[in-house]
Amino acid sequence: MCGIFGVHGHSDAVRLTQLGLYSLQHRGQESAGVVFVDEKGGARAVRSMGTMNDAMSAELERVKGVTAIGHTRYSTAGSSTIENAQPVLSRTRGGFVALAHNGNLTNAAELRMDLEERGSIFTSTMDSEVIVHRLARSNADRPEERLAEALCEVEGAYSLIVTMGDTLLAARDPRGWRPLVLGRLGDAPVFASETCALDIVGATYEREVQPGEVVAVDAEGMRSSFPLPRRELKRCVFEYVYFARPDSRVFGGSVDRARRALGKRLARECPAPGAELVFSVPDSSNSAALGFAEESGLPYELALIRNHYIGRTFIQPTQAGRDAKVKVKYNPVREVLEGKKVVMVDDSIVRGTTTRGLVALVRAAGAREVHMRVSSPPVTGPCYYGIDTPSREELIAARLTPEEIARDLGVDSLGYLSLEGMLASVPGGPHGFCHACFSGDYPTAPPTDPDKLRFGCGC
Ligand code: 5GP
Ligand code: SF4
Ligand code: MG
């Protein structure tokens, strides 16, 4: 998963993009990057591993651009290199091309092989680079026509922000897997993965970039086209469940409202009679746990405190074993838990590793009964469309039944939200969503060799 941001025709474009990326940091912490275009059409990239950091900010303070795009990247094991940091920046015969991509292309391996056979030399192992090569080969006149030509054989998930010369382009795949919104700051159009990035720069939300739409912005103004074949809508329901920030709107709906509705529905489907309090696993399940508490009439408590200063680079002390990582990130509040029958609400269980550690912590802090409630169904399959879920073998719900999972996690009871319940709770549901990792109903054929995708950005 990744976060993308872009602004056109603003004297402070670089600073705005920097701010936008701070708001999209939750969508990716492996690398961050900004490409900016100056008034003469020159383009430069500033990229760094890890999150937006002081060194990168200091460098960006010194530069100016009128158009800028940015990217925060989420990791895929094994491909954590600066070559794979985005935005991609290339010099083509038509000028500079820069591209920021959120999603995963499901036929990237085939397209790349085809391009390599025709002489293309790739500089990264990202699936996104395939689009840049196809753009460079296009002979169409207008930038939006070249982008449409580049995308016509591309399958899978993409929300894109691209610069070509002084044109800024934004595009979303026809199934609309990943979010992308359009806002405005004065006259300057601003594109971002989520509205929280519009808020931070003071831009007003205008609308979503539509599935299958290509938007082009240049000195002449804004043009919209729908050059890609229509497809059934498959927005990622996991954006509402876990990924997006609760202060954002994505897919035209409020993430906070979605999560509260998921929590309320969960309380109706899987009540916990006899429980005395509800708590969340901060921060991702805060809103769902609030919904659960409201619906069940139980008090909402802060039973787990999350340390916000633990970076992803933290090295797990080997002697402390598996639970060390959980302990470093979370600490229970004994005064809340001691002697109590509690409901622990989380948004999802993936591997089960974190949850197992948390249950042990909560019990050690004196909880008498632990009832786990999950505001999404069991994750039974991998995602091929941009979320870095592990392989099927690592998914606890692909191996065990809910009863076995409850035993494995050490909880007194375990309740998952049903698929129907989830789809009925999200704004604009129940239709038009991808739920493949929960239901096995994959909208495309899985990639011929899923491992090949691992060369990709996994963002
Ligand atoms: P588990 O018990 O499966 O190890 O971890 C569950 C936790 O992982 C939940 O709190 C959930 O919010 C979080 N989670 C769900 N999906 C993802 C993901 O794609 N990436 C990360 N880093 N955490 C996730
Ligand atoms: Fe989202 Fe799951 Fe579909 Fe991936 S498989 S796009 S995570 S709903
Ligand atoms: Mg979480």
Q: Establish whether residue 86 lines the binding site of ligand 1, counting it when its CB lies within 6 angstroms of any ligand atom.
A: no
Q: Which of 106, 387, 391 to mutate to test the pocket of ligand 2 (most atoms within 8 A of CB)?
A: 387
List the catalytic residues: 2
Cβ count within 10 A of residue 53: 12
| pLDDT tens profile 293-340 | 999 999 999 999 999 887 654 444 444 555 678 999 999 999 999 999
Q: Are residues 230 and 270 in the same domain?
A: no
Using alpha carbons only, give the angle 288, 438, 362 rounded to the nearest 5 degrees.
Answer: 45
Is 165 inside a domain boundary?
A: yes
Q: Are residues 318 and 184 in the same domain?
A: no
Q: Establish whether residue 242 lines the binding site of ligand 2, counting it when its CB lies within 6 angstroms of any ligand atom.
A: no
Nearest to residue 266, comparing CAs of 420, 401, 441, 436?
420
Is 244 inside a domain boundary?
A: no
Q: Are residues 164 and 268 in the same domain?
A: no
Question: Is 127 within 8 Å of 108 (Cβ atoms)?
Answer: yes
Is 411 inside a domain boundary?
A: yes
119's torsion region: left (phi>0), alpha (psi -120 to 50) or beta?
A: left
- pTM equals 0.95
- CA-CA distance, 433 to 340, in Å (whole number)? 38
Measured in Å, residue 171 CA sits from the centre of ligand 3 at 30
Pairing of strands 67-73, 167-172: unpaired
Q: Establish whether residue 352 lines the binding site of ligand 1, counting it when its CB lies within 6 angstroms of any ligand atom.
A: yes
Q: Are residues 141 and 259 in the same domain?
A: no
Q: Establish whether residue 379 lines the binding site of ligand 2, counting it when its CB lies within 6 angstroms of any ligand atom.
A: no
Q: Establish whether residue 387 lines the binding site of ligand 2, counting it when its CB lies within 6 angstroms of any ligand atom.
A: yes
Q: Establish whether residue 436 lines the binding site of ligand 2, counting it when its CB lies within 6 angstroms of any ligand atom.
A: yes
| End position of a domain, from candidates 191, 206, 234 | 234
Q: Are residues 37 and 127 in the same domain?
A: yes
Instruction: Please list, in sequence order, all residues whose beta carbon lies within 8 angstroms of the beta carbon of residue 117, skipping any fewer than 6 positions away.
Output: none
Q: Establish whether residue 243 lines the binding site of ligand 2, counting it when its CB lies within 6 angstroms of any ligand atom.
A: no
Q: Are residues 275 and 327 in the same domain?
A: yes
Q: Establish whether residue 347 lines the binding site of ligand 1, counting it when its CB lies within 6 angstroms of any ligand atom.
A: yes
List the CATH number of the domain containing 385: 3.40.50.2020
- CA-CA distance, 203 to 256, in Å (whole number)? 20
Show pLDDT as tens, one digit a residue, over the chain (459 residues). Answer: 899 999 999 999 999 999 999 999 999 989 999 999 998 889 999 999 999 888 888 999 999 999 999 999 986 544 678 888 999 999 998 899 999 999 999 999 999 999 999 999 998 888 999 999 999 999 999 999 999 999 999 999 999 999 999 999 999 999 999 999 999 999 999 999 999 999 999 999 999 999 999 999 999 999 999 999 999 999 999 999 999 999 999 999 999 999 999 999 999 999 999 999 999 999 999 999 999 999 999 999 999 999 988 765 444 444 455 567 899 999 999 999 999 999 999 999 999 999 999 999 999 999 999 999 999 999 999 999 998 888 899 999 999 999 999 999 999 999 999 999 999 999 999 999 999 999 999 999 877 655 544 444 434
Q: Which of 172, 177, 234, 437 to mutate to test the pocket of ligand 2 (most atoms within 8 A of CB)?
A: 437
Is 448 inside a domain boundary?
A: no
Tokens describing residue 106: 């499901």
- Kindly report the three-state secondary structure assignment for every residue of the chain: CEEEEEEECCCCHHHHHHHHHHHCHHHCCCEEEEEEECCCCCEEEEEEECCCCHHHHHHHHCCCCCEEEEEEECCCCCCCCHHHCCCEEEEECCEEEEEEEECCECCHHHHHHHHHHCCCCCCCCCCCHHHHHHHHHCCCCCHHHHHHHHHCCCCECCEEEEEECCEEEEEECCCCCCCCEEEEECCEEEEECCCHHHHHHCCEEEEECCCCCEEEEECCEEEEECCCCCCCCCEEHHHHHHHCCCCCEECCEEHHHHHHHHHHHHHHHCCCCCCCEEEECCCCCHHHHHHHHHHHCCCEECCEEECCCCCCCCCCCHHHCCHHHHHHHEEECHHHHCCCEEEEEECCCCCCHHHHHHHHHHHHCCCCEEEEEECCCCCCCCCCCCCCCCCHHHCHHHHCCHHHHHHHHCCCEEEECCHHHHHHHCCCCCCCEECHHHHCCCCCCCCCCHHHHCCCCCC
| End position of a domain, from candidates 234, 269, 284 | 234
Nearest residue (by CA) to ligand 1, atom 15, is 348
Is 452 inside a domain boundary?
A: no
Number of independent structural domains in the chain: 2
Measured in Å, residue 121 CA sits from the centre of ligand 3 at 40
Measured in Å, residue 238 CA sits from the centre of ligand 2 at 6
Q: Are residues 222 and 291 in the same domain?
A: no
Nearest residue (by CA) to ligand 2, atom 8, is 435
Measured in Å, residue 74 CA sits from the centre of ligand 3 at 16
The residue segments making up the domain with residue 221 are 3-234
Q: Which of 242, 285, 304, 346 to mutate to test the pocket of ligand 1 (most atoms within 8 A of CB)?
A: 242
Q: Are residues 190 and 100 in the same domain?
A: yes
Nearest to residue 35, comparing CAs of 61, 1, 71?
71
List the CATH number of the domain containing 165: 3.60.20.10
Is 242 inside a domain boundary?
A: no
Using alpha carbons only, give the angle 42, 105, 111 rounded to the nearest 5 degrees.
Answer: 80
Q: Are residues 211 and 271 in the same domain?
A: no
**HSE toward the beta carbon, residue 61, CA cutoff 13 A:** 7
Of ligand 1's listed atoms, the one at least distance from the Cα of 281 is: 10
| pLDDT tens profile 248-288 | 999 999 999 999 999 999 999 999 999 999 999 999 999 99
Q: Establish whether residue 72 lines the binding site of ligand 1, counting it when its CB lies within 6 angstroms of any ligand atom.
A: no
Measured in Å, residue 261 CA sits from the centre of ligand 3 at 17
- CA-CA distance, 425 to 257, in Å (whole number)? 9
Q: Establish whether residue 350 lines the binding site of ligand 1, counting it when its CB lies within 6 angstroms of any ligand atom.
A: yes
Q: Which of 238, 347, 426, 442 to mutate to test the pocket of ligand 2 (most atoms within 8 A of CB)?
A: 238
Q: Establish whether residue 385 lines the binding site of ligand 2, counting it when its CB lies within 6 angstroms of any ligand atom.
A: yes
Of ligand 1's listed atoms, the one at least distance from the Cα of 387 is: 19
Q: Are residues 148 and 270 in the same domain?
A: no
Cβ count within 10 A of residue 234: 23
| End position of a domain, from candidates 202, 234, 266 | 234
Q: Are residues 229 and 262 in the same domain?
A: no
Of ligand 1's listed atoms, the one at least distance from the Cα of 358 is: 2
Measured in Å, residue 292 CA sits from the centre of ligand 3 at 16
Is 454 inside a domain boundary?
A: no
By CB atoms closer than 10 A (0-12, 13-18, 19+), residue 197 is buried
Is 455 inside a domain boundary?
A: no
Q: Are residues 69 and 214 in the same domain?
A: yes
Measured in Å, residue 75 CA sits from the centre of ligand 1 at 14
Using alpha carbons only, give the angle 3, 375, 30 rounded to the nearest 5 degrees.
Answer: 25
Which amino acid makes up residue 292? F
